[in-house]
Chains A and B, each alone.
Chain A
């Protein structure tokens, strides 16, 4: 079962920052936060993951609160192609326990 909570939908103007929140209040100390997105009719795509420090890559930034009970995925300049369902997942990394359980995610719609 998914152990994270996300709003079902959000929208954002093209060119603006999209900030997608996620609550993971029961996260364990050895669990990472992963973000994936799924564009219609495609397989999910890995975006970013982190443990406790903020992370940034070419796609997005991940801000994790100090108590690790919530996080925010930031798309700094959203484009129409960023319209997708975004999934936030907490899981143990790099072991036989490290499987991903997807919830319903957040449908992000970027409008012109």
Chain B
């Protein structure tokens, strides 16, 4: 069974640009969560989707947005990039909302110059 996939794996952008990251969950998983991981703040929750609906959102500015499609694939978008957005962005999928089934993807490493 294929795991969670994220594309692209690495990305370099400049300040002010926008970026879209993609996450394909494990087949049959309908819940997708996004996290930002930085050395200073650790893993911070961005948002969560279930059945195409955003169910929860973390304390991030409105520049961070996301969506989920009918096939459970999810995208997150960051507009007007700032240097502080440089981080590893992790996507996790689970069967429904049962956390023990939550598996993380390999992440997208974003560098903002």
- Indicate whether A and B interact: no
A: residues with CB less than 8 A from B are none
B: residues with CB less than 8 A from A are none
